[in-house]
Structure 1
């Protein structure tokens, strides 16, 4: 069964979505629900659901920000956004940030939801059958069409363990630093430094789970020369320290 987290601030909509179909018949099980983005982010970090069915407009943290924070944490949960008619800009941004699909709340039907879940189930089955999961860098590069931004993403993926600065990336694509910084944020939804940290933490997680290397060595291997800074960034992104993460897994 694929795990689903339902995130919606309107109780009536949450209950309607829960009751509209037989989830188990589609291969899904509802493992939790949240009424705002902040609450949902904590649940995503702990549960790592396969699918997040998420409203876009919510208090405390909206659906778009929740999607971005989930990706920054290196969590690859599928996102399907619940939205209102006419909110085309939010729909466009959600798809740009990596959402798999969206459903209009007011006209949602059993058919809409079943078709969407069937699509997500196929995607999940396909991804788990691959020898290795696609890295965050590959996923981002796949959905970004701007050539210079794609070039930066692939460069970071290959050189994350080296010293990388805005100046070195700007030289790599032969553009000004301010322009590169603004362009990357516009096309990916996150700053260069946040993206670099996210990739390094993703690589650190792989080493934590597949090796016996000490935490300080893992930090150095992924590009953090300062142990305390590595632990600080790791905790900011995952909610736990590297040692706690390794022990929990």
Structure 2
């Protein structure tokens, strides 16, 4: 069977890539195009899965450019030869790539069949003797990826099992937010894990970018040493938004796909809903809150059409509060729900003759940011910024409507002398307590407790000025069971004690 040199083409211009692919009859010349990529990130994924012998790459590309790509390829795949494409004005960049091991370069204006073939033949002279060596077996990393994806052969499974000496396995993954931790790399993660696990060989499974997934082979029954190593690694790396996953242990590589699909990916999902947890292990997952409340889109539409916008916003926030605690909700489903509500609100406002030009213009940016959100708090923050713009758009109507917030304020004015808490109010009005708290603060520039204290002290002032009731009786009458606490709150708000206030007020009268 004829053996080919495998070639990967990388350029952000599709016409350039297609031009190179169509310049020559590749297989007639002993080469085979195994893929094409538009930037360095895509190229590194193809490098991991296809292991080309030759990489032909442009220099100037969005995201990971050619210089960084050359460094990464030479670091992780040193056997791959690299040919750089360059224009005259970018030739200074080409000089930098030669320091990192580039084999040759071609100026784009001179790119033609003859030039390309001559360069390829020069580059492959050093590879002719070693070409078949890696063809017998794909790399262990590549076979592990095949096992996860479910298309490995029996021969590959037997081969990779022979490479592991111990009887227990566990998957460990580190992933990070590219926006806040763009300096992190698989190499940095691997160095720390090797050091703290005290092992020389660690098999990386190239599943996706901004992530480092490893299979750890160990002999002990307990995975506590692995947990400890991850804790140390995390502290040493000290990234802003780095998260770790420790999957359930297993005893055969034939279980790898099931553990990854049914256990590992579940932990990934939990991470989205638990932004403050950096490390999640299979045996330390919190129980999801089983509060199955369905969302009624028709009710939201009804509230909008009646211009009861505050009620509509509270209804939305209440349901978001429920969804954000249901860790078993698919992340894509949660993000799609936010995007669907965003889309429906814009359509509703348009049908109600509001000016939605700016919202229409920005909606796809909202969709993209929600999809790219690293965790639930990011996604909700993006949605809240959208709702804030909607609130400004409908501001005249919000002041004319008897909203649920106003009903809540009226309720506090009437029942301030009772035992009132945020939870009892939320239950009475069928709100989510956490979102009622944030919504209250947002619209009244003070929290629920501050507002309630102000209402109680306002009424206490009236009683002190107009009655002869004792201070302890007034304390109880306005909702405080402890007179000393009442005095403390009164002094904090009025800068004087109840007794001094009464004395001064009586003298003035």
TM-score, length-scaled by structure 2: 0.29
The equivalent of 2:197 in structure 1 is: 227
The answer to whether structure 1 residue 16 and structure 2 residue 32 are counterparts is: no
Structure 2 CA distance, aligned partners of 1:127 and 1:42? 24
Q: C-alpha distance in 2, partners of 1:209/1:92? A: 44
2:12 is paired with a residue whose SS is: coil
Number of residue-to-residue matches in the alignment = 163
What are the residue-to-residue correspondences of 1:15-164 with 2, within 5 Å?
Answer: 15-128=18-131
Structure 2 match to 1:241: 214
Q: State how far apart, in whole Å, the 2-side matches of 1:87 and 1:4 are.
A: 23
Instruction: Please report how far the alpha carbon of residue 62 of structure 1 lies from its aligned counterpart in structure 2 after TM superposition.
Output: 0.6
Q: 1:243 to 1:46 in 2, by over 3 A?
A: farther
User: How far is 1:110 from its partner?
Assistant: 1.3
Structure 2 stretches lacking a partner, 5+ long: 134-159, 170-192, 218-252, 257-509
| RMSD, matched Cα | 3.5
TM superposition shift of 1:34: 0.5
Alpha-carbon offset, residue 102 of structure 1: 0.5
SS where residue 22 of structure 2 aligns? helix
Structure exhibiting the larger radius of gyration computed from Cα positions: 2
Distance 1:232 1:224, change over 3 A: closer
Deviation, 1:108, is 0.9
Unaligned runs of 5+ in 1: 131-207, 217-222
Aligned match for 1:213, one of 165, 172, 177? 165
Do the aligned partners of 1:45 and 1:239 also contact (CA within 8 Å) in 2?
A: no
Q: Which has the higher contact order (CA 8 A, sep 6+)?
A: 1
Secondary structure of the corresponding residue to residue 106 of structure 1:
helix
With normalisation by structure 1, the TM-score equals 0.56
Q: Distance in 2 between matches of 1:36 and 1:22?
A: 25
* Alignment-derived partner of residue 299 in structure 2: none
Distance 1:239 1:122, change over 3 A: farther
CA displacement 1:17-50 (0-9 Å, x = unmatched): 1111111122111010011111111111111111
Once the two structures are TM-superposed, the CA of residue 213 in structure 1 deviates from its matched residue by 3.4
- 1:230–1:59: structure 2 CA closer, same or farther, 3 Å change rule? farther
